[in-house]
Chains A and B, each alone.
Chain A
Amino acid sequence: MSFFDVLGISGSAMNAQMIRMNTISSNLANTGVAASSAEEAYKAKRPVFRTVYDNAVDSYRAGVTVERIDFNQKPNDRRFEPDNPLADENGYIYISNVNSIEEMVDMTIASRAYQGNVEAINTAKKLVLNTLRLGQ
């Protein structure tokens, strides 16, 4: 009975979207955070999704998993603030490279994707219950 597969598939997508939401909130929380060197400065994170098949032979049950988390390679902004306690020997601080507009847009997409999967689960649940009630 593969109505139940929908629960697994959409559940895996909800999990993946939730991880995405978490990285987005870390990014937003670290907007404008300073550090003493370009290496230490915060770099925006983004999860990369991958399809997982429950069985190599039949490939239509395709769930999602987070394959890895990528870091934004955009160079961190450097600002001259010699009074800042975090400043390096030349008086520079390094700002996280989070673009809060991008993050907000991504958050909207992630939450819509999450909602879509919840909707799919709800529909599948109703259909399963109606099937179980057949003939009653």
Chain B
Amino acid sequence: MPLLQNPFGIHERALTLRDMRNTILAANMANADTPNYKARDINFRDLMQGTANAEMMTATDRQHIQSSFGAAGGHLLYRMPNSPSLDGNTVEVDIEQNHFADNAMRIQATLTFLNSRIKGIKTALRGE
């Protein structure tokens, strides 16, 4: 029964990625006034489809440093600023806030999907 074998489907990975993007965007906003900080982001679609995994660093030797990135290893991109500032900082707070709000809304959507999955499974198990 596929619903019980993989109850959360793609939403589990989506939530992990969304959560990571949430952290990245919060870090961008936190560093809005740090000289030479470059705004980062991930391409959610590529990571979700798994197409970005091609260049992922893998530890093939015991002495290699393990990347705790997991899902996004080496896939942090740099945002191109509309108007870079003189101190080398590329964070544009309004754009970051916009992305942050958008991302938070999508996390909320994922949580709603997960909730209805769980409710559906519960109902199925009870058989009422």
Q: A109-B33, A131-B111, A134-B111 are in contact. Are A60 and B27 (CB under 8 A)?
A: yes
| A127 CB–B CB distance under 8 Å | yes
Distance in angstroms between the alpha carbons of A48 and B101 in the assembled complex: 28
- Report Cα–Cα, A51/B87, bound state, in Å: 14
Q: Are B76 and A59 in contact (CB under 8 A)?
A: yes
> Given the complex of chains A and B, what is the CA–CA distance between A92 and B22 in angstroms?
56
Q: How many A-B residue pairs have CB under 8 A?
A: 112
Residue contact B115 to A134, C-beta cutoff 8 Å: yes
Q: How large is the interface on A (under 10, 10 to 19, 20 to 34, 35 or more residues)?
A: 35 or more
Assembly CA distance A1 to B108 (angstroms): 16
CB closest residue in chain A, given B70: A58
Q: Determine whether the beta carbon of B108 is less than 8 Å from that of A61.
A: no
- B contact face: mostly helix, strand, loop, or mixed: helix
Instruction: Kindly state the separation between the CA atoms of A3 and B16 in the bound complex, as whole angstroms.
Output: 10
Residues from chain B with Cβ under 8 Å of A16 in the complex: 33
Interface size class, chain B: 35 or more
Residues on B with beta carbons closer than 8 Å to the beta carbon of A116:
29, 32, 93, 97
B35 beta carbon closer than 8 Å to chain A? yes
Docked-complex contact A13 and B29, CB < 8 angstroms:
yes
* Cβ-defined contact, B65 with A57, below 8 A: yes
Leading 7 A-B pairs by shortest Cβ distance: A13-B30, A135-B118, A62-B27, A49-B34, A6-B26, A5-B23, A58-B69
* Residue among A3, A10, A116 facing the most chain B CB atoms (10 A cut-off): A116
A26 within 8 A of B: no
List residues 84-136 of chain A with CB under 8 A from any CB of chain B. Answer: 109, 112-113, 116-117, 119-120, 123-124, 126-127, 130-131, 134-135
From residue 43 to 90 of chain B, which have CB atoms closer than 8 A to chain A?
65-69, 72-73, 76
Residues of B within 8 A of A9 (CB): 23, 26-27, 30
Q: Is A12 an interface residue (CB 8 A)?
A: yes
Is the C-beta of A73 less than 8 angstroms from some C-beta in chain B? no
Bound-state CA distance A58–B20 (Å) is 12
**Interchain nearest-CB distance for A44 vs B (Å):** 17
Residue on B with the closest CB to A120? Answer: B26
Q: How many Å from the CB of B76 to the closest CB on chain A?
A: 6
With a CB–CB cut-off of 8 A, which chain B residues contact A61?
23, 27
